[in-house]
Chains A and B, each alone.
Chain A
Amino acid sequence: MRFLFRSLKTFVFILAFISFSSPLKAQIPVGKGTISGDFMLNGMFYIPDSLIGADKVDSKVRANSYMYLQYTNGGFTAGMRYEFYLYPLIDFEDIGYKGHGITHYFADYKNDFIQVTAGTFYEQFGSGLTLRTYEDKYLGIDNSLLGARVKVTPYKGITLKGVWGIQRKNFDFEYLKRKDHVRGIDGEISLTELIPQMSEKGFSTSLGASFVSKYEKDEDPTFILPQNVATWGARLNFGWKGLRFEGEYARKINDPNATNEYIYKPGDALFASLTYSMKGFGISTSFIRADNMDFRSQRGTPANLALLNINYIPAINRQYSYQLISNYSYASQPNGQVGAQCQINYQIPKKTKIGGKYGTDITLNYARYHTIDKTMLPIDSITGSQSGTDGYTSNFFKWGKELLYQDLGVEISRKFDKRWKLIVAYNWLIYNMEVLQGHGGMFHGHNVAVDLTCKINSKHALRLEAQHLYSKDDLGSWVYAMIEYSINPHWFISIGDQWNYGNADKSRRIHYYNISAAFAIKTTRIALSYGKTREGILCVGGVCRTVPASYGLGLSVTTSF
């Protein structure tokens, strides 16, 4: 086993090395294959600022960096990524994403019938309720599996997958000492491909099912813990013309762990969406209910770390890129949430009186999450808590009393002529800080955002972004303004300021200013920035982490070849 891992690593390394000794440029031919890759460096020089809460850090210069190389030759691909996070940005240090080494390496062969992967890999079964391994460099998440994957297509329209592996745990490379591993199978049948008459009539249907099991040795002195925890899921996808339904239901057997306070209750989740669209109009609704579905490779992993997650319970609200409300983004609650969402996209037709020459786009959306309904069971006489019991019972069809999040949004986007374009947006937010951030009650806020672009000519453009968040809760009201000047195709210069003018504490009405310049050429981008970042949360896809306040000079380089 040890030998297998080592030789795989060595092999990938040698391969990369040989190919690099020859003169190279973008997309390097090596024999009949090609080498490609990408590189990122995100560095920062930190300046302490006690007012905003940016403490002195032990190493002022810090950087996150990685390099990925990939060799492709027909159906064969091999790749490796070296990550250098020995002195990472302080937010990564805080979540323990620190170290260096080859964190991703694999060899993969693929043809029409079979795909075999050995090494670390990313995989998703269905919508991910039972298994999803992925990476997100901004959040410091990489829950890839080290092991093997086989995917076969025995007949057109039928796909079968099998995976086995040990999950990545930041920079802990002692995989062989681990007492946990994950295995799973997944099958999907596309009726549309199997039955040609269906697609002729405009129907599309597929069915799928998955089974995932985690093994982890029980060494607990108090409880007898299940060493094997299984989840299974079944899904359906149905479409007819503009109408589409997608749904998946998953269930997990008893899995006492740190996130559910060691209760023995089984978990389940339902995720469904129904959409309808035609040219110029689209409506999408979705629903999620998750009860005790936090599923990790190691049961002791604390809930506040996005580490060793085997499955993925999505948050379904709309994801905004507006600065001021991003701090109140909803974080998915796999152990208890029920939510629904509806979004309408409509285009007032082009060349009409109201729509204007280019048409006017309107987006309306509403999302709401509650806790799940819970009736607590009597406490355990030995542990003196719910631990060791089934914890609670929950009525599937009842929403919990506590509101977690609500968002009502309107966005109107209109291009007036070849020069001017305007986006106006309004959001009404309610955000349960107590549950989602662990402090401070309910947050109510109203946000207005304006984004105006002026394309001066084909080379020069100016963009102005202004936002106002009105609130009496948390830190009070904020304003934000940013001007970005771009000189096509290489230069981007921007200056912006976030001002917490409504803070109840007058000494904390701070300006968080930021100046940045970026240079882009082909697939390379180099950016320099200087300024202050407020303490807050960063969310991507409903997964969030806290970001400490910081002040300093940043450099970012990304390239791919």
Chain B
Amino acid sequence: MKKLALLILLISCTLLSFGQEETKEKKLATIPSVDIKALDGQSFNTINIDNDGKPIIISLWATWCKPCIAELLAIADVYDEWVEETGVKLYAISIDDVKTAARVEPFVNGKNWEYEVLLDINSDFKRAMNVVDVPFLCILNGNREIVWKHTSYAPGSEEEVYEIVKGLVNQK
């Protein structure tokens, strides 16, 4: 009962606070430090996600997730232009577990994707990022701070992603 009361309190605090505008200078979150794997099986710490001061897109996906693939395919068609114009880099982090992880690299190459692909085999990064479901996409500015997050994919939403990336480049 005590726990329940506390929970209700927590939820009401959350709801109350939603109505309030942030007055302090906004502090943006950065990427948590989680050990995941590169495609060659070597350990990769997510704080090493980097693009020399240029914007970064992180997409959490899986080979069994249809909307995730639709989103990455849609971006793949225009990725060359995006890179050329903004220098953006996309990290496609797969949450495929042991069952399908070995198929990620042939899949990615089979689709001719130019993304940086990483493997989050036991969903440690997904949990640390508070991701409930994939597809999940977030955009990082040149200081590697998260400026935009989105769950789910509708055809065309990649255009909004690009507008934000362009905005980040033009701010400088």
Residues of B within 8 A of A541 (CB): 97, 99-100
B98 touches A312 (CB 8 A): yes
Q: Give the Cβ gap from A403 to chain B, nearest Cβ, in Å.
A: 20
**Chain A 409-447, CB within 8 Å of chain B: the 1/0 string?**
000010100000000000000000000000000000000
Q: Give the Cβ gap from B153 to chain A, nearest Cβ, in Å.
A: 9
- Interface: A17 (CB within 8 A): yes
B152 touches A492 (CB 8 A): yes
- Interface: A321 (CB within 8 A): yes
> Within the complex, which residue of A84, A282, A487 is in contact with B108, where a contact is CB–CB below 8 Å?
A282
Residues of B within 8 A of A275 (CB): 102-103, 105-106
Task: Report the bound CA distance from A72 to B157 in whole Å.
Answer: 30
**Chain B 1-41, CB within 8 Å of chain A: the 1/0 string?**
00110110111011001101111100111001100000011
- Chain A contact residues (Cβ within 8 angstroms of B): what range? 35 or more
- Interface: A529 (CB within 8 A): no
> Within the complex, which residue of A344, A358, A413 is in contact with B77, where a contact is CB–CB below 8 Å?
A358
**Chain B 136-163, CB within 8 Å of chain A: the 1/0 string?**
1000000000100111101111011000
Number of interface residues of B (CB under 8 A): 68
B150 touches A24 (CB 8 A): no
Residues of A within 8 A of B3 (CB): 82, 100-102
Residues of A within 8 A of B109 (CB): 242, 277-282, 345
Task: Report the bound CA distance from A122 to B128 in whole Å.
Answer: 12
- Interface: A347 (CB within 8 A): yes
A281 touches B110 (CB 8 A): yes
- Closest residue of chain B to A16 (Cβ to Cβ) is B10
With contacts A134-B123, A204-B40, A415-B77 known, is A34 near B27, CB below 8 A?
yes
> Within the complex, which residue of A20, A67, A128, A283 is in contact with B98, where a contact is CB–CB below 8 Å?
A128
Residues of A within 8 A of B11 (CB): 67
> Within the complex, which residue of A34, A100, A344 is in contact with B4, where a contact is CB–CB below 8 Å?
A100
Task: Report the bound CA distance from A320 to B65 in whole Å.
Answer: 9
> Within the complex, which residue of A314, A319, A413, A558 is in contact with B64, where a contact is CB–CB below 8 Å?
A319
Q: Give the Cβ gap from A409 to chain B, nearest Cβ, in Å.
A: 13
Task: Report the bound CA distance from A40 to B151 in whole Å.
Answer: 13
Residues of B within 8 A of A514 (CB): none
- Closest residue of chain A to B23 (Cβ to Cβ) is A23
- Closest residue of chain B to A242 (Cβ to Cβ) is B109
B13 touches A486 (CB 8 A): no
- Interface: B83 (CB within 8 A): no
Task: Report the bound CA distance from A236 to B85 in whole Å.
Answer: 42
A17 touches B33 (CB 8 A): no
Task: Report the bound CA distance from A72 to B63 in whole Å.
Answer: 30
- Interface: A507 (CB within 8 A): no
- Interface: A315 (CB within 8 A): yes
A284 touches B102 (CB 8 A): yes
With contacts A321-B66, A541-B97 known, is A192 near B154, CB below 8 A?
no
Interface residue ranges, B against A (CB under 8 Å) = 3-4, 6-7, 9-11, 13-14, 17-18, 20-24, 27-29, 32-33, 40-43, 63-66, 70, 73, 77, 97-100, 102-103, 105-112, 121-124, 127-128, 130-133, 136, 146, 149-152, 154-157, 159-160
Extra contacts, 11 of them, besides A17-B10, A561-B130 (Cβ < 8 A), are A124-B122, A132-B98, A192-B40, A277-B106, A277-B110, A279-B112, A316-B99, A453-B155, A486-B154, A489-B156, A492-B154
In the assembled complex, 29 residue pairs joining A and B whose CB atoms fall closer than 8 Å, in A order, are A17-B10, A20-B13, A23-B17, A27-B28, A69-B10, A128-B122, A190-B42, A192-B40, A193-B42, A242-B109, A275-B103, A275-B105, A277-B108, A277-B109, A284-B103, A321-B66, A345-B107, A413-B73, A455-B155, A461-B156, A463-B155, A488-B155, A489-B157, A492-B154, A525-B133, A558-B132, A560-B130, A560-B151, A561-B130
